[in-house]
Amino acid sequence: MTSSGRTTRKVVLFTALLAVMLVWGCARAPRRPKVAAPLPPPRVQPTPQEMALQQAMRKFYGAPYRYGGTTPAGVDCSGLVLAVYQRVGLSLPRTTTDQFTAGQPVPRNRLRFGDVVFFNRYCYGKEKMAYMASVFPPEHLSEICHAGIYLGDGRFIHASTSRGVEISRLDAEAWRRSFVGARRFFRGEESKSH
């Protein structure tokens, strides 16, 4: 093989390798397959309302985040709470702030399946810049701007702006530091699971 033939071969291989790298680097990340939500059972003998709530949450698990959305095709955090509770026959307010003022207050150590948990994470300042809890001055700490539904075992389901509807742990630092309170919308006997 001549020197010009080797050079041509190297150029072709380099071009092919470059094309593969560009395609590989520009390819979209594969969509997360929609699988059944790993929701813990609400308790040994759930009420019909708790069973209906669990079934409604399963329909939203993995749904993409969409500001103002209230369907499994796209949902925001307060829309998730609203839509799930509507599917079990309870009417809740639309916004996180209004949801926080409704319902019965629940101490963190008394949470049970179906309680709605509230946070000051993902709030927006006057400049519409998202900030994390405990990064900005204390006057922002009372602002309620994120909500989810408690599942038990320290976990809650919520609509994340970056990953859609997912399950997170309350004891994760960001959620522990930004927890503002919880509200109960189900009436009835105390659950044995926490």
Q: What is the CATH number of the domain that holds 99?
A: 3.90.1720.10
Whether the pLDDT of residue 97 is over 90: the answer is yes
User: Per the residue annotation, which of 26, 77, 145, 194 is the catalytic one?
Assistant: 77
Query: Could you say which of 26, 145, 146, 194 is catalytic?
Result: 146
Q: Is 158 designated active site?
A: yes
Q: How far apart are CA 168 and CA 158, in angstroms?
A: 8
Of the residues 26, 140, 145, 158, only one is catalytic, namely 158
Q: Tell me: the pLDDT tens digits for 25-48?
A: 443 444 555 555 566 555 567 888
Closest Cα to residue 42, out of 137, 115, 92, 133?
A: 115
Q: Is 146 a catalytic residue?
A: yes
- Across the range 108-129, mean pLDDT stands at 78
Domain membership flag for residue 193: no
pLDDT category of residue 143 using cuts at 50, 70 and 90: confident
Q: Identify whether the C-beta of residue 75 lies closer than 8 Å to the C-beta of residue 63.
A: yes
| Residue 40 in domain | no
Q: How many structural domains compose the chain?
A: 1
C-alpha distances (whole Å) from 19 to each of 10, 23, 29, 159 are 14, 6, 18, 37
Average pLDDT rounded to a whole number, residues 110-121: 94
